[in-house]
């Protein structure tokens, strides 16, 4: 499997210092949706691995997160692509979880869910911790 693991905020959609908290605030970066569709057409399986500590911080809830991801999926599908899975860490930095990047928990979850190895996967992020997780 040709696997691409994308960060979300700052890679697919515009990031915000005030957190992206709802679907209205979830605004794609120019070209990102088309790029995902092109990856799919080139035979890549595309998944998202994203830290969403805004949930742990009480800034938004799972319904809001699902609404953002529904918007993302709809746009990608309209462009002819598909995001196979969205893997997120809902925890805060002090929760001591195993999934918040730079830890590898999300990557492990991707391997389990897709029943594949992430060895050789392409990891794309806009922060060092994305690449450390990779």
SS3 at position 46: strand
Q: Is 94 a catalytic residue?
A: no
Q: Does 100 bind Mg ion (CB under 5 A)?
A: no
> Which helix or strand (DSSP H or E) is residue 88 part of?
strand 83-89
The least distance separating Zn ion from the CB of residue 103, rounded to whole angstroms, comes to 8
Cβ pair 105, 60 in contact under 8 A: no
Q: Could you tell me how far CA 118 lies from the centroid of its own chain?
A: 15
Q: Is 120 left (phi over 0), alpha (psi -120 to 50) or beta?
A: left
Residue 53's DSSP bridge partners are none
Q: Which is nearer to Zn ion, 99 or 109 (CB)?
A: 99
Between CA 128 and CA 134 the distance in angstroms is: 10
Q: Which is nearer to Zn ion, 69 or 100 (CB)?
A: 100
Q: Does 133 bind Mg ion (CB under 5 A)?
A: no
Q: Interface mask (CB under 5 A) for Zn ion, residues 48-87, using x and -?
A: ----------------------------------------
The dihedral through the CA atoms of 28, 32, 38, 44 has a sign that is negative
Q: Does 104 bind Zn ion (CB under 5 A)?
A: no
Active-site pick, 7, 15, 61, 113: 7
Q: Interface mask (CB under 5 A) for Mg ion, residues 10-49, using x and -?
A: x---------------------------------------
Q: Which residues bind Zn ion (CB under 5 A)?
A: 89, 91, 97, 99-100
Active site amino acids: 7, 9
């Amino acid at each position: 499997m040709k696997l691409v693991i994308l960060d979300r905020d700052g890679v697919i959609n515009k990031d915000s210092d005030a957190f992206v908290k709802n679907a209205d605030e979830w605004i794609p970066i120019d070209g990102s949706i088309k790029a995902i569709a092109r990856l799919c057409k080139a035979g890549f399986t595309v998944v998202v691995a994203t830290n969403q500590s805004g949930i742990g911080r009480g800034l938004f809830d799972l319904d809001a997160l699902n609404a953002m991801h529904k918007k993302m999926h709809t746009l990608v599908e309209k462009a002819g692509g598909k995001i196979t899975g969205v893997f997120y860490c809902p925890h805060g930095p002090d929760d001591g979880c195993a999934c918040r990047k730079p830890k590898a928990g999300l990557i492990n979850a991707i391997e389990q869910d897709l029943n594949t190895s992430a060895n050789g996967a392409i990891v794309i992020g806009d922060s060092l911790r994305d690449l450390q997780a990779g």
